[in-house]
Amino acid sequence: MMEMEEFTQYLPLYTNCDRCGVKIFELDWAVGRFGAGHWMGLCVVKCERCSRVKVAAAGSSYEAHHRAQMMRTDLLVRMGGV
């Protein structure tokens, strides 16, 4: 069974804006349980330079990652990005 700290240590600490290329360092991952021993996370970031919004998804197993990706897609649709 994976602990949350073990999962979060592998989450990215920064990303690059895919529009203007600036590095974004302040990632705030929302992490929650997926089933008994797995974790999933979502991270929403907005580029200060060009206002591009990105949403990342992660999971500690294939199933958790798939669920996080589904939540990411739902969030993007609600935001009007897809």
CATH number at residue 41: 2.20.25.420
Does residue 40 carry a pLDDT above 90?
yes
Q: pTM for the whole thing?
A: 0.86
- The confidence score (pLDDT) of residue 79 equals 85
Three-state SS string over the chain comes to CCCHHHHHCCCCCCEECCCCCCEECCCCCEEEEECCCEEEEEEEEECCCCCCEEEEEEECCHHHHHHHHHHHHHHHHHHCCC
Give the Cβ contact number of residue 74 at 10 Å.
Answer: 11
Mean pLDDT of 25-30: 93
Interior angle at CA 78, CA 58 and CA 67, nearest 5:
30
Range of the domain at 26: 4-79
- The confidence score (pLDDT) of residue 62 equals 97
Percent above pLDDT 90 for the chain: 88
Phi, psi of 62 (to 5 degrees): -60, -45
- Cβ–Cβ < 8 Å for 18, 34: no
Count the domains in the chain: 1
